[in-house]
Amino acid sequence: MDATSTTTSPAGTGAGDGGVRQRVPALRRGRWRDVAGAANLLDSTGAVAPTVFATMSALAARTGAINLGQGFPDTDGPASLLDDAAAAIRAGVNQYPPGRGVPELRRAIAEHQRRFYGLEPDPETEVLVTAGATEAIAAALLAFCGAGDEVVVLEPYYDAYAACIELAGATRRTVPLRFPGYELEPGALAAAIGPRTRMILLNSPHNPTGHVLSPAELAEVAEVATRHDLLVVTDEVYEHLLFDGRPHVPLATLPGMAGRTLTVSSAGKTFSVTGWKIGWVSGPADLVEAVTTVKQFLTYVNGAPFQPAVARALALPEQHFADVAGRLQAGRDQLTEGLLEAGFTVSRPGGTYFVVADAAPLGYDDGMALCLDLPRLAGVVAVPVRVFHDDQAAAASLVRFAVCKRPEVLAEAARRLRALRR
């Protein structure tokens, strides 16, 4: 395909799905641009800035502190998954897979969506395998957004969202979620929509806060998207990591949303293989085609021997998914108790890998300074929440901890953090 051509079908959507695909061109001539001026990508010297995760993980490695900053597990995924990948490597599955992903995995993703949510994407035309969820999001933004367009995100936001929006040449508009509840305030999303709004980029369960959007919050998103005829990209990588019996409700299942929603997820979080970078996007065929057009010029393909292994893992019994969520919920409870004992105020997350805590009760009003000092003060690394904010004052004293660690590691981290109590 010509990466500068328009590939979106002019065909309209089905009844009740609106007409978003009639007005969303895939790629437009002149889209590509020099991003040297992208503020979020460069530091004060003009050099490419490292992510907060790279900075804090390097700090943990340098000091020997317990790394609760970056969200990666310290245990591997199911043995069957690892064995399947090793077997695929030995069997010679080591060359380029098909551009859209191996058929076995695309079929497994479609079956997963049917099995858990009643969605029925066509694995041939409505599923694309990507290099993790981040590539899927980046490719979608590059496909559908450009100079003059606005993308609405919840704030705080995963830092890659801001960078990818800038790479696409678009502008972000944020809708604030406030500590400790992080609920979407009624009317706040609608107030952020303007004449240049092109896309809503949604994340639930939400990183970095752990908030799970309620049915009422999701209904408001759907109402705003349909009323303004907007495309929605939903990042659902934590879809199986919900706590306290909460169900995951994909936005695409709500009335009017199937034809305007691209659903993104990945194997990394669900199966504790974050380094494999096997993600996917599903949705209407013409929208997925547009993302594919961009994706082929990013990584092209990836993870050949991992793809069939993930396909088989997606068919594991439902108890496996419940057990993973249960272990993370236990980790949330364990670390939350330790943070409360240390004197933090804590937001109790409904899902994900993370817990957000306020250090202000301990006398620390600068979360960034605290995170830089934590290895010395307590032998623990966290990340400051303000790096996920435009309004940094709203998160000045907030820090985020990862709970996706072994119980003994979390117990030791909690013991060390008690040293912060004054």
Q: How confident is the model at residue 8 (pLDDT cuts 50, 70, 90)?
A: very low
Tell me which residue of 367, 361, 335 sits closest to 348, measured CA to CA: 335
pLDDT at 218 over 60: yes
Position 41 scores a pLDDT of 62
- Range 112-134 burial, b when 16+ CB lie within 10 A, else e: bbeebbebebebeebbbbbbbbb
How far apart, in whole angstroms, are the C-alpha atoms of residue 190 and residue 207? 21
Overall average pLDDT of the 279-295 stretch: 98
Residue 375 CB partners (closer than 8 Å, separation 6+): 59, 60, 63, 64, 65, 381
3-state secondary structure of 414: helix
pLDDT at 46 over 70: no
Residue 421: predicted pLDDT: 83
Q: Cis bond leading into 156, ω under 30°? A: yes
Which pLDDT band, with edges at 50, 70 and 90, does 250 fall under?
very high
pLDDT of 242 reads 98
pLDDT at 43 > cutoff 90 = no
Read off the pLDDT of each residue in 184-197 and give the average, rounded to a whole number.
Answer: 98
Q: Between 387 and 9, where is the model more confident?
A: 387
In this prediction, residues 122-148 reach a mean pLDDT of 98
**Strand pairing category for 150-155 and 171-176:** parallel
Which segment of 21-35, 142-156, 269-283, 380-394 scores lowest on mean pLDDT?
21-35
| Structural domains of the chain in order of their starting residue, each with its CATH number | 52-76+319-420 (3.90.1150.10), 80-315 (3.40.640.10)
Whose tokens are 């306290």? That residue is 244
Residues 6+ apart with CB under 8 A from 333: none
Assess contact for 5 and 280: CB atoms under 8 A.
no
Nearest partner of 272 among 245, 234, 241, judged by Cα: 241
Taking 90 as the threshold, does the pLDDT of residue 410 lie above it?
Answer: yes
**How confident is residue 105, by pLDDT bands cut at 50, 70 and 90?**
very high
Q: How far apart are CA 18 and CA 332, in angstroms?
A: 40
Nearest Cα residue to 69 out of 415, 374, 421, 376: 374
Token readout for 167 is 């790479």
pLDDT the model gives residue 313 = 98
Report, as an integer, the average pLDDT of 168-179: 98
Confidence band of 48 (pLDDT split at 50, 70, 90) = low
Which one has a higher pLDDT value, 274 or 13? Answer: 274
Greater pLDDT, 44 or 195:
195
- pLDDT at position 3 is 36
For a pLDDT cut of 90, what percent of the chain falls above it?
85
